[in-house]
Amino acid sequence: MEWLEDNVKDRQRLFSDSAQDAKEQNHHPCTAKGSKTSFHVKMAEYILSIDKDEKVRDDVRANGGRKYAKAVENCIGR
C-alpha cells in the first residue's frame, strides 16, 4: 500500500517487533504509543479519499476515517 510506503515511521510503529525480537537483534523496538487505531484512521482517510464513490469521499472529508478504521484493521489482519 502506498500509504505504508510513504509513512515509514508510522509503518514501523504499526507493525512493530516485540521487545524480545528487538533485544535479540540488538536494537530498540519501535512501538506505537497507545492504540494503533490512529494509524488505521489515517490509512482509511488516505485510501477512501480517492474512492470511486463520491459519497464515500464526501463522508470521509466531512467526518474523517474513524468509522472505517475497524475495516482497515480487519483487512491488515488477514
Q: What tens digit of pLDDT does each residue of 18-72 get?
A: 667 767 777 676 666 667 888 899 999 999 999 999 999 999 999 999 999 999 9
Domain count along the chain: 1
Grid coordinates of 34 = 497507545
Range of the domain at 10: 2-76
pLDDT at 59: 94
Position 7 pLDDT exceeds 70? yes
* 10-15 own/partner pairs: CB under 8 Å, 24+ apart: 10/39, 10/42, 13/39, 14/39, 14/76
DSSP conformation class of 31: -
Cβ atoms < 10 Å from Cβ of 60 = 21
CB 73, CB 40: distance < 8 Å = yes
Q: Tell me, what amino acid is at 9? A: K
pLDDT at 70: 93
Q: 0.75 cut: is pTM over it?
A: no
